Structure 1
Amino acid sequence: MTTTLITGANRSLGYETARRLAAAGHTVLLGARDPDRGRAAADALGVRFVQLDVTDDASVEAAVADVRAREGGLDVLVNNAGLNQPYRPAEELTAADASTVLGTNVVGVVRVTHAFLPLLRASAHPVVVNVSSGMGSFAVTSDPSRVESTLAAPLYCASKAALTMLTVQWAKAWPDVKVNAADPGYTATDFNGHSGPQDVTEGTDAVVELATIGPDGPTGRFLDRSGPVPW
């Protein structure tokens, strides 16, 4: 049985990822910061809730201890938790805003992955999936045919560009772990006021694909539901 932890999984893309992987036979651990919302989501899916705030060292350490005690190991980590930047003009975004956005979308992923790496390495086939975005791609955000090119979100885009590069570097540094990044695409979620043309199932196609790769699967790749994402 494959044991999979998904951060930020009490709603939207994380919730749908949890639903789909549970249906595929994974033992899913639904990570969420808010205990009430997390337990409600986990109960609705019939999976186990793990309290996890990616911005808090003590919370992450407690989650590692919980998983070690209950499941004994971890096979797949999906770093899904993230936040958008404040809805203000770029000139009004501050260093404090940058610390908040990058603190969750980049530092939080480092914190969680570093903490769970020993449990992952105990797996015969460890996998890490980082939920990134085409908004972090120079090629995508410069392509006039893509909706991403019409948006200006400096902090969010910078955080996702950093996350994708982290993916590549970890893949090089850890040949024993499959590390990939997924771009959900423009998906209708709470994150964007349900404005995207894709539904959450379409938005999780790349995440689920990368979470279910075999031992000969890719590493260091950046994919959306149609294939490789240009950088």
Structure 2
Amino acid sequence: MSRIFVTGSVEGLGRSAAEALISAGHELVVHARNDRRADALDDLVAKGAHVVVGDLARMDDVRAVAEGVNRLGRMDAVIHNAGVEQGASLLPVNVVAPYVLTALIERPARLVYISSGMHRGGRPDLTDVDWSGARRTHSYSDSKLFVTALALFIARTWPDVFTNVVDPGWVPTRMGGAAASDDLRLGHVTQAWLVGSDDPEVQVTGRYWFHQARQQPAPATGDEAFQEELVYSLARYTGVTLP
């Protein structure tokens, strides 16, 4: 049994991953944006899950979430699932929060970051980036390119952690919309497999996955100079450095 933290666990792919993992016997720490939304996790709590609450668009809340997770003890794995498609919280939730949580949560054995096939349309350009979200400076595709590059930086610099990226496909969640053409039933399978399986195939790092198959991400995400620029920019904005 592993202890696993999943961000954005109230609905969609995060919820599906949490349900699959707790059904497989793992100890789950789930996350909701606020107390009202946390009520939707009561059935998982009844099965033994712990809940942490915090708005990942707010820096103080992100720190509080990290502190809450650490109080529960070291995680074996973290799935950085939470994400938004648009609005002022785009960069704070999709990029800043995974960075800060990675830095502040006691280092686990496995990390998974959720990307998107749309990252291939993103721009590896941090010019005039506003991490606070006060100004709209970058797109959803940019945000997913950034988080993919962040994950590959972690994989490169933390060789003791199995760090991987998952494209769950375009699935009909609330964020994906009803027109999404991919299979919702497959959307959570890869990330749950990567953190909950003893399969030797998942004991790897720095891979980009789609439906349990390896793919190549956009070349820019593996550019070490861009990775370093990204991490430096995030550290300067947040005041938090990766250990």
Q: TM-score, normalised by structure 2?
A: 0.74
Whole-angstrom distance in 1 between the partners of 2:8 and 2:161? 22
Deviations 1:178-218 (A, max 9, x none): 11110000111100222223343211122112222449511
On the 8 A contact 2:10/2:32 being kept in 1, the answer is: yes
Runs (4+) of structure 1 exceeding 3 A deviation are 213-216
Question: Between Structure 1 and Structure 2, which shows a larger proportion of helix residues?
Answer: 1
Whole-angstrom distance in 2 between the partners of 1:157 and 1:114? 23
2:107 to 110, 113, 120: 120
1:221 to 207, 213, 232: 207
2:110 is equivalent to residue 110 of structure 1? no
Equivalent in the alignment of 1:178: 162
Whole-angstrom distance in 2 between the partners of 1:171 and 1:104? 21
SS in structure 2 of the partner of residue 195 of structure 1: coil
Deviations 1:162-181 (A, max 9, x none): 11111111101001111111
Point out where structure 1 has 5 or more consecutive residues left out of the alignment: 87-96, 140-153
CA drift at 1:64 = 3.0
Against the structure 1 CA distance between its residues 162 and 111, is the aligned structure 2 distance closer, same or farther, given a 3 Å change threshold? same
Point out where structure 2 has 5 or more consecutive residues left out of the alignment: 123-137, 218-243
State the superposition RMSD in angstroms: 2.1
Counterparts of 1:44-55 in structure 2, within 5 Å, are 44-45=43-44, 46=47, 47-55=49-57
2:153 is equivalent to residue 169 of structure 1? yes
Equivalent in the alignment of 2:195: 211
Range with bigger deviation, 59-68 or 203-212: 59-68
2:117 is equivalent to residue 134 of structure 1? yes
On the 8 A contact 1:16/1:200 being kept in 2, the answer is: no
Whole-angstrom distance in 2 between the partners of 1:103 and 1:67? 19
Instruction: Number of aligned residue pairs: give it.
Output: 197
SS in structure 2 of the partner of residue 191 of structure 1: coil
